[in-house]
Amino acid sequence: MGCSGCSSGGGCGTGGTPPAGCENHGTCGTSGCNKLNVYDWLADMDMPANYKPFDIVEVRFKGSRKEFYVNHENLYLEMGEMVVVEPNTGGYDIGHVSITGELVRLQLKKSKVAPESVTKKIYRKVTDADIKKWQAAKDLEWETMHRARKLALDLGLSMKISDVDYQGDKTKATFYYTADGRVDFRELIKRMAEAFRIRIEMRQIGMRQEASRLGGIGSCGRELCCSTWLTDFKTVSTSAARYQNLSLNTLKLAGQCGKLKCCLNYELDSYMDALKDIPNNIERIETQRGTAFLQKTDIFKKLMWFSYPGEESWIPLTTDRVKEINQLNKEGIKPEEIGAVELEEVVEEKPVSYDYENVVGQDSLTRLDDRNRKKRRGNKGKRKPDGIRPEPKAEGKARAAGQGGPRKSDAPDAEAKQKSKRRFRGNNRRGKPGGPQQPGATPNQ
């Protein structure tokens, strides 16, 4: 059975499979464990002594589908438990309890569902046999979806089957598909019924619902809102981007579903409230100095920047001052002073230098790095004179003491011999002894 800590389908409790996407047993925040979870903030409140628990329970199924059921047997249910419920057609289905108690009453009010209209019942809690049968049905969904896609391609239907949802008793499957228009899939249903030997239901969904069922990562780096917590889809228009001064670039404003991002509506109310104090249709103001044109507006600071033609400096004005000047212009009056706002000077922060001299081992490591760097350098850049070679240690010590013989380079013809050797080597590299240099060759090759 599933535990009360998550609703991953029995993954956290014993006898179930690990939750999809992690192995933290319901303690993480990914969609595999906590998809569309609801925090019951009324669970810890003390109820009156004569309180009767609310007998309607919200049950969650695959994807974002949630339905209400009547707990007519007054079973003790906790969030995350798996229960056997009554489906729309024959048989039974298995889902997870998402809300219980008084929070369901608020959810019914939000969904505009009357408690008297809820008639479907909760049969019982799941058993081990129910879980095995439900798991076997879920294992068939991936293969069934791909076989159904192949059948649709063979029939030449312009539709995309995006997901398959098996009923808990493995007697019915719901196929979710997207299409631009209406599709005649009667022949497809006949072939799928013959291939799968189950009852078939086709349900067309939109692009947003498809993204909600499949999930994914948004441009913000987080999981899609529709696949984690968002249950209802509100209309999103390009005016929401205009009010927020966003560029009307469809590639940036579109989400995984190809539609406008739902998050464009999140801060829209704040922008609408801030825009109430911003004067509309004021693109220029007239002064005795000339005509100043609007360049920029900060709706939260309630500042508007104007500039005169041919000048690079922008003059900040408050919205009240802009309204005042605009009213004077309507009366035919041009003010002398524009009344610029003195903005607060931005104090530049000096870079902070951190002292690491007191770190344990820091000085010794620095000295060791310097020593190794000097060793790697060696004697690079120090060329010895021609004819002088390094001496053996014993010979050098003896000569320093005055006991060694003369060096080879001390002979009168030593320098001439060295020059002839170098000349002979250079000629051999050119190809001919003493001949001209071959084209394309350099003396040091």
Q: Is residue 433 part of a domain?
A: no
Q: Are strands 122-125 and 284-287 parallel, antiparallel or unpaired?
A: unpaired
Q: Is residue 315 part of a domain?
A: yes
According to the model, what pLDDT value does residue 164 have? 94
Strands (E), 171-299: 172-178, 199-204, 284-287, 290-298
User: In the chain, how many domains are there?
Assistant: 4
Q: Is residue 256 part of a domain?
A: yes
Residues 144 and 118 in one domain: no
The CA-to-CA distance between both ends of the chain, in Å, stands at 79
Q: Is residue 306 part of a domain?
A: yes
Q: Is residue 425 part of a domain?
A: no
What percent of the residues of the chain are helix, what percent strand, and what percent coil, each to the nearest 5?
Answer: 30, 15, 50
Whether residue 133 is predicted with pLDDT greater than 80 in this model: the reply is yes
According to the model, what pLDDT value does residue 29 have? 42
Indicate the residue type of 425.
R
Q: 192 is in which domain, residue-wise?
A: 140-211
According to the model, what pLDDT value does residue 347 have? 41
Residues 184 and 248 in one domain: no
Tell which phi-psi region holds residue 242, choosing left (phi > 0), alpha (psi between -120 and 50) or beta: alpha
pLDDT band at 50 (very low <50, low <70, confident <90, very high): confident
According to the model, what pLDDT value does residue 439 have? 46
Task: Print burial letters for 363-393: b (CB count within 10 Å at least 16), e (below 16).
Answer: eeeeeeeeeeeeeeeeeeeeeeeebeeeeee
Degrees to nearest 5, angle at CA 313 with 312 and 316: 140
Residue carrying structure tokens 């391609």: 153
Q: Which of the listed residues 312, 330, 348 is the one where a domain comes to its end?
A: 330
Residues 110 and 175 in one domain: no
Q: Is residue 379 part of a domain?
A: no
- Judge whether 14 and 21 are in contact, CB under 8 Å: no
Strand order in the sheet with 315-318: 284-287, 290-298, 303-307, 315-318
Whole-angstrom CA distances from 88 to 92, 120, 172, 175, 295 are 9, 8, 11, 15, 60
pTM recorded for the entire structure:
0.60
Degrees to nearest 5, angle at CA 218 with 215 and 222: 90
Residues 267 and 296 in one domain: no
C-alpha span between 2 and 248 (Å, rounded): 46
Residues 264 and 201 in one domain: no
Tokens of 271: 């922008």
Q: What confidence tens digit (pLDDT) does each residue in 169-220 have?
A: 999 999 999 998 888 989 999 999 999 999 999 999 989 989 988 888 998 9
Residues 120 and 144 in one domain: no
Q: What confidence tens digit (pLDDT) does each residue in 82-123 have?
A: 999 999 888 899 999 998 988 999 999 988 899 999 999 999
Q: Which of the listed residues 97, 126, 155 is the one where a domain comes to its end?
A: 126
Residues 68 and 100 in one domain: yes
According to the model, what pLDDT value does residue 232 have? 79
Write the CB contacts of 420 (distance below 8 Å, at least 6 apart in sequence).
none
For every residue of 53-66, DSSP letters joined together read ---EEEEE-STT-E
Side-chain half-sphere exposure of 7, counting CA atoms within 13 A: 29
Closest CA to 421 of 379, 391, 389: 389
Paired residues of 69 in beta bridges: 57
Q: Is residue 320 part of a domain?
A: yes
Q: Is residue 265 part of a domain?
A: yes
Residue 66 φ/ψ, nearest 5 degrees:
-135, 140
CATH number of the domain that residue 159 is part of: 3.30.300.20
According to the model, what pLDDT value does residue 3 have? 46
According to the model, what pLDDT value does residue 79 have? 86
Residues 198 and 263 in one domain: no
Q: What confidence tens digit (pLDDT) does each residue in 379-421 have?
A: 555 555 554 555 555 555 555 555 555 554 444 555 655 655 5
Average pLDDT, integer, range 303-311? 89
